[in-house]
């Protein structure tokens, strides 16, 4: 039942913007809990990369005295990858198009992360 609710949150998140191409909920140790990924995108790889990026981001934020890490944003020429904590046990990862309206995506991801944190 919890997995159905997580899937529902991701479906709602993906439906909020045509700029969101994929999303997933990943445990902080890199295990995929729920995902809405296109064919050809490997869940295990997305989970592992998200966990690695967050670990590095955590360390960077602490070492440079920036406080607690909230999110990691990666920008490439084909788009964005946004990772945001959903409580202490999970992370929401979103893949967005290059021309995405990031302000709206940040807001939508924040809302989804709050819903996930309350559920987990």
More confident residue, 120 or 78: 78
- 60: CATH: 3.30.450.30
Given a contact cutoff of 8 angstroms between Cβ atoms, the answer to whether 37 and 26 are in contact is no
pLDDT band, very low/low/confident/very high, at 113 (cuts 50, 70, 90): very high
Locate the DSSP E strands across the chain. Answer: 20-27, 32-36, 71-76, 79-86, 90-97
Tell me how many domains the chain contains: 1
Q: What percent of the chain has pLDDT over 70?
A: 99
Nearest in space to 93 (alpha carbons), one of 74, 78, 76: 74
pLDDT at 16 (0 to 100): 86
The mean predicted confidence, pLDDT, of the chain is: 91
Rounded CA separation 79/81 (Å): 7
CA angle 5, 56, 22 (to 5 degrees): 35
pTM of the model: 0.89
Q: Which residues are CB-neighbours of 10 under 8 A, at least 6 positions away? A: 23, 24, 25, 34, 35, 36, 112
pLDDT band, very low/low/confident/very high, at 24 (cuts 50, 70, 90): very high
- State the residue range of the domain holding 20: 2-119
Q: How far is CA 22 from CA 64, 66, 104, 108, in A?
A: 31, 29, 16, 14
More confident residue, 3 or 84: 84
pLDDT for 37-94, tens place per residue? 888 889 999 999 998 898 899 899 999 999 988 899 999 999 999 999 998 889 999 9
């Amino acid at each position: 039942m919890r997995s159905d609710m997580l899937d529902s949150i991701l479906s709602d998140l993906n439906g909020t913007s045509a700029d969101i191409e994929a999303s997933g909920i990943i445990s902080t140790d890199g295990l995929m809990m729920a995902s809405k990924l296109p064919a050809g995108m490997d869940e295990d790889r997305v989970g592992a990369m998200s966990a690695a990026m967050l670990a590095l981001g955590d360390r960077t934020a602490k070492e440079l005295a920036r406080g607690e890490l909230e999110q990691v944003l990666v920008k490439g020429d084909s788009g964005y990858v946004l990772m945001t904590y959903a409580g202490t046990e999970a992370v929401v990862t979103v893949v967005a198009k290059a021309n995405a309206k990031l302000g709206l995506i940040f807001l939508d991801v924040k809302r989804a992360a709050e819903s996930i944190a309350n559920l987990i």
